[in-house]
Amino acid sequence: MTAIEGVLFDFSGTLLRIESAESWLRAALTASGTAMDEAEIVRSAAALERAGALPGGSSPVEIPADLAGLWEIRDRDARHHRALFTGLGRQVPLPEPELYDALYERSRTAEAWQPYPDAAEVLARLHRRGIRIGVLSNIGWDLRPVLRAHGLERYVDICVLSYEHGLQKPDPRLFALACRELGLDPAAVLMVGDDRTADGGATAVGCSFLPVDHLPVDRRPAGLRPVLDLVG
């Protein structure tokens, strides 16, 4: 078996987790100076979650027919990503039309994301071992400032973001590109992610794959530590 010399991590649900839909809505209301009744906040947050409007949150219970095409290509272009998620948000009536954009902007801030408890420790230990580290994400915006704000960017050698390349996982070309940027043969690279279809696609180019559970941060205190056992 080829020794692992590099690790690619997914972003959302793997290294960091998005806040709850209720926290997300409350922050957007504050940012826009909009008032809502407390009970309505709770109801609307639950409806936004069912609609799949929170990037990094739950998938839609039902995708509206007019957004189905965008859903399939949402991570290939920044405009697609914004249009899809603000469109999903608009399935839920809110008191001010600017709230849908305010919600999207909130989802791109460092404050909306929380690292998993072992993320910094695992990245730091891999970095000290001389392992090449990359973040490979299906996303529609630049996550580097979020990594930086949480003190994780210092350990990361490369970021490969789907919207910057017009490709999204599980397209083998995106994994191959990430391996080239790491400067490693795919056989020497481990992909770590919470989506067995999207992230597991790394095996098509010869990478190893380690799945992690997409759980709230307080329910997954050590989900990344098995990486340390797989990497010499």
Percent of the chain with pLDDT over 70: 99
pLDDT value for 8: 99
> Are residues 133 and 96 located together in one domain of the fold?
no
- The amino acid at 181: E
> Are residues 126 and 213 located together in one domain of the fold?
yes
Residues whose CB falls within 8 Å of the CB of residue 62, separated by 6 or more in sequence, listed in order = none
pLDDT value for 30: 97
> Are residues 68 and 158 located together in one domain of the fold?
no
> Are residues 105 and 135 located together in one domain of the fold?
no
> pLDDT tens digits, residue range 24-45?
999 999 999 999 999 999 999 9
> Are residues 136 and 107 located together in one domain of the fold?
no
pLDDT value for 218: 96
Element spanning 16, H or E: strand 16-18
pLDDT value for 178: 98
Q: Share the mean pLDDT of the chain.
A: 97
Nearest to 61 by CA among 70, 74, 69, 71: 71
> pLDDT tens digits, residue range 196-223?
999 999 999 999 999 999 999 999 999 9
Q: Is residue 13 part of a domain?
A: yes
> Are residues 79 and 170 located together in one domain of the fold?
no
> Are residues 103 and 122 located together in one domain of the fold?
no
Q: What is the DSSP string of 110-165?
A: GGGEEE-TTHHHHHHHHHHTT-EEEEEE--SS--HHHHHHTT-GGG-SEEEEHHHH
Beta strands in 30-122 (DSSP E): 113-115
> Are residues 32 and 125 located together in one domain of the fold?
no
From the number of C-beta atoms within 10 Å of its C-beta (0-12, 13-18, 19+), residue 229 rates as: exposed
> Are residues 121 and 148 located together in one domain of the fold?
yes
Domain boundary among 72, 94, 111: 111
* Domain assignment of residue 207, given as a range: 6-17+114-230
pLDDT value for 15: 98
Structure tokens at 63: 């995708």
- CATH of residue 160's domain is 3.40.50.1000
Number of domains comprising the chain: 2
Domain boundary among 111, 145, 171: 111
> Are residues 217 and 160 located together in one domain of the fold?
yes
Q: Is residue 1 part of a domain?
A: no
